[in-house]
Amino acid sequence: MGQSEELPKTEELDDLEASAQKNSNLHAYLRTFWRKAGLIAGITGVTTFIALLISATESQVYTGNFYLLVEPISTAGKLTDPSTLTRTSGVPQEELFSLDYPTNLAFLQSPGMTSRIAEDVYKKELTGNFPAIWKDIRENLSVKRIGEGREATKIFEVTYKGANPQEVLTVLETAADTFLKYSAEDRQTNIKAGIEFIDKQLPDLQKRLENFKSQQQQLRQQHELIDPIAKSQELMAQISQIDEQLLANRSQLDSRRKLYTVLQRQLKLNPQEALASAALSQDPSRLALLSQLQEVESQIAAESSRFTSRSPQMQTLEEKRRNIQNLLAQKTKTILTQNAFSVKENSPILAYQDPTRLKLIDQLVDTANQIQVLEVNTQSLATAKSTLEKQARQLPKIANQYSALERQIALTNEVLDKLLMQRETLKVEAAQDLPWQLISKPQIPLNADGQPIGESPGRLKVVAAGAMAGMLIGMILAVWLERRRDVFYSNDDIQDILSLPVVGDIPYDKRFSLGSDLVLALDKSAKKTKEAENDETAADDASFLAAFESLYAQLCFQHSGSSLNSIAVSSTEAEDGQSTVALYLAKTVARTGKRVLLVDANFINPQLHEWLNLPNYGGLSHLLAESIPSEKVIQSVPDTENLFILTAGISHPDPSMRVWSSRMQNLMEELHSKYDLVIYDAPKFLDFTDTSFLAAQTDGILMVAGVGKTSQSLLKKAIARINGFNLTSLGVVANHLTSK
């Protein structure tokens, strides 16, 4: 379950990272375009000007037009239109007042109509060839309705564009004649053709209607039906009623059978014995004999306490009992024989039956009779249902045939009625004479001298294309120039390109330069800040020092889980400002009251001792080469409490004493235990492997990038190596001291 839940999260993180990378690339391009806005604007202006010059050399195009009124202007005119009266049964409706404008617009610009215009133009001019004229008219002739929506008018505007004003007028005049001819003649021809078509269709439709009615009548007579659908519904109702009766009978039959089983289990009699018992229990003479037998047996039981079995009294009673038993047996046999019952000699029904048992026997016999009646009724209902279902199965086919014929009759009647109505409508419309009206003759705009006015059709497009091309060229050139310089132009560039946080932003100050002058100037300025808080110089110094306070705070926030004890500061190129960052970060932390040690680990180009005006006779190289206490070579920094420095030393250690040696590791452990923070001014990261080993023994490496100076490719290579060595990266410091 854990793995299956982690996979979607990983995919979401990948998507978020990809989206962030795309946004970063876009932001980087936007910043590039902003920085090179002047270059892009200049190139865009040049290309736009060239496009204007090109468009000025294009030939002039002349546009002419004319207007057609295609419907009566007033409502009264429309009300008197015969087509309106016929199509609305004499009651005009507002929605039928207007023409089918989309269809007419499409037709007037269709290949057929433009071909007729081209043919007439070719006959008039006799210049060029017909395909070329037709192609030109299809491309340059347009018809549109003036106005849109509620403001749409009843007027068509026909326009045509061409290089020759006389040809434009010729085409427009020809088009006007063709459209008017269409409205006056062609529409009449189409109406007459519609009437002829309807007249041809009517006989077939009438014959088909009579045929359908005849088939329907035969179907009714053959099956003696008025409406098969109603008959089918009636049969289904009867079947449903029988189903209900069957369900009730089967329910009663089931309950009677259960009762019969219970009674039979209680009496332990089969149906034959139950009937025999009922017959015996209902005979009066047999019942009298049973009563006498019970009475004699009662006397015998009473006298047996006084007399012995051999006494005359007892023998007389015994003889009387035997006689009654014989008579009872004969009577029972006679009753069983008369009813054709076969009963075993020792059957319990031959004995005396008490009233309760007799009632149960009667109930058993009655239940058996009810079961037989219900079974007969159920069988009768099932037979009736089967007969009805057979009839019902035949009706759907008949009903379908009947319904199909009914639909065909209704459809044919509807088509026939519509055709007859449409024929009458067309006959009335054929008698009208309301052609379109030419309310504005073909014309071309003229200037004050009476000359046609032309225009360059593609000027705006050419100018827009020139501007877009210039902008595109400018943006491509801007990107190429910045990539060619291969430097960072802003903090955002560093963060987007390296995908690392910019933890520090060191501002630029034109008064300072790298080296001891900067250090001394800032130290003096820091002292003067208290004396001249309103002075602009003091404000700039405070801003510079505040940048390191912000850097330290950012580093502490990143290590909120554990204290920050050691930092390696490095860069990729000379004069990126890493020593400046290391020194002033150490000064800033020392001012907080923590003991800070600044270690100059750059044996090739040590410079911290020069900036602080301290001797360099003993330093890190001596501690690695000789077994001396670190306190002898560590110096305190003047004017900065709690800040100490371990200079690089004069002599370089031999290879066995370099920073990857065990002596160096032991020394770093010792220094880390004695000071709250140890800052190493490391060599250039890509030039020496010492920096990688040094960073591995610290809490992380802090890379310094000179804005406007440091190579992007080199710093990217350094970050890739840091990631490859699994070193802890504390981020990047953007140093603006090198940007001017």
Number of residues in the chain: 740
The residue ranking higher by pLDDT, 439 or 363, is 439
What's the pLDDT at 642? 92
What's the pLDDT at 454? 72
pLDDT in tens, 621-664: 888 888 888 888 999 998 889 999 999 887 655 544 566 678 88
Distance CA 579, CA 683 (A): 10
Report percent pLDDT > 70 for the chain: 71
Cβ–Cβ < 8 Å for 654, 625: yes
Calculate the CA dihedral of residues 433, 439, 440, 441 and round it to 10 degrees. Answer: 30
Q: Which residues lie across from 157 on neighbouring strands? A: 67, 144
CA 201, 204, 207, 208 dihedral sign is negative
Cβ–Cβ < 8 Å for 181, 175: no
Mean pLDDT of the 291-306 span:
75
Q: Which residues lie across from 566 on neighbouring strands? A: 678
What's the pLDDT at 618? 82
pLDDT in tens, 668-717: 899 999 999 999 998 888 887 778 888 889 999 999 988 888 888 888 89
Phi, psi of 88 (to 5 degrees): -120, 15
**Is 50 exceeded by the pLDDT of residue 73?**
yes
Distance CA 540, CA 737 (A): 13
What's the pLDDT at 590? 93
What's the pLDDT at 46? 85
| Lowest-confidence region among 28-42, 79-93, 537-551, 573-587 | 79-93
Cβ–Cβ < 8 Å for 669, 536: no
Parallel, antiparallel or unpaired: strands 701-706 and 454-455: unpaired
Cβ–Cβ < 8 Å for 172, 64: yes
CA 591 to chain CA centroid, nearest Å: 58
What's the pLDDT at 3? 45
Q: Where does the pLDDT of residue 1 fall: very low under 50, low under 70, confident under 90, or very high at 90 and above?
A: very low
Phi, psi of 350 (to 5 degrees): -80, -20
What's the pLDDT at 342? 60
Is the pTM of the predicted complex or chain greater than 0.85?
Answer: no
The residue ranking higher by pLDDT, 556 or 431, is 556
What's the pLDDT at 474? 79
pLDDT in tens, 184-202: 766 566 667 777 788 888 8
The residue ranking higher by pLDDT, 20 or 641, is 641
Distance CA 499, CA 494 (A): 8
pLDDT in tens, 102-111: 888 888 888 8
Mean pLDDT of the 379-400 span:
74
What's the pLDDT at 506? 84
**Is 70 exceeded by the pLDDT of residue 533?**
no
Q: Where does the pLDDT of residue 75 fall: very low under 50, low under 70, confident under 90, or very high at 90 and above?
A: very low
Q: Name the residue among 105, 131, 106, 107 with its Cα closest to residue 119.
A: 131
E strand or H helix at 569, and its extent?
Answer: strand 566-570
What's the pLDDT at 471? 84
